[in-house]
Amino acid sequence: MDDLKKRGPQDRGKINMHEDYEVKYWTKELGVSKEKLQKAVDKVGNSAAAVRKELAAQPKARGDTGDLWSRDRALPYEEI
């Protein structure tokens, strides 16, 4: 039985998409949305190392959770 007081995964080498607290941990840890994490797990399996490698190989799109450019910086504003 899972200890719900623990916030990280029991096995940090595997990603369990069936436990909400693990999905929350991994989306924050990897800086991706739940949907992007699920696609990576579907493609390469639940190995955290394989998922990291897959996500690193994918280009980041504007608006991704982990995309610092779109989240933290504004585009220059010019008055007309």
Residues 65-70 have a mean pLDDT of 47
Do the beta carbons of residue 34 and residue 23 sit within 8 Å? yes
Q: Which residue has the tokens 């980041």?
A: 60
Report the distance separating Cα 57 and Cα 61, nearest Å: 13
**Does 5 or 35 have the greater pLDDT score?**
35
Instruction: Specify which residues 14 forms β-bridges with.
Output: 47
Residues 47-62 have a mean pLDDT of 86
Q: What is the pLDDT of residues 14-54, one digit of tens each?
A: 999 999 999 999 999 999 999 999 999 999 999 999 999 99
Do the beta carbons of residue 13 and residue 48 sit within 8 Å? yes
State the pTM of this model: 0.63
**Does 78 or 32 have the greater pLDDT score?**
32
Per-residue model confidence (pLDDT) at position 60: 66
Query: Angle, to 10 degrees, between the axis of helix 34-44 and the axis of helix 20-30?
Result: 100
Q: How far apart are the first and last CA of the chain?
A: 62
Report the distance separating Cα 64 and Cα 80, nearest Å: 30
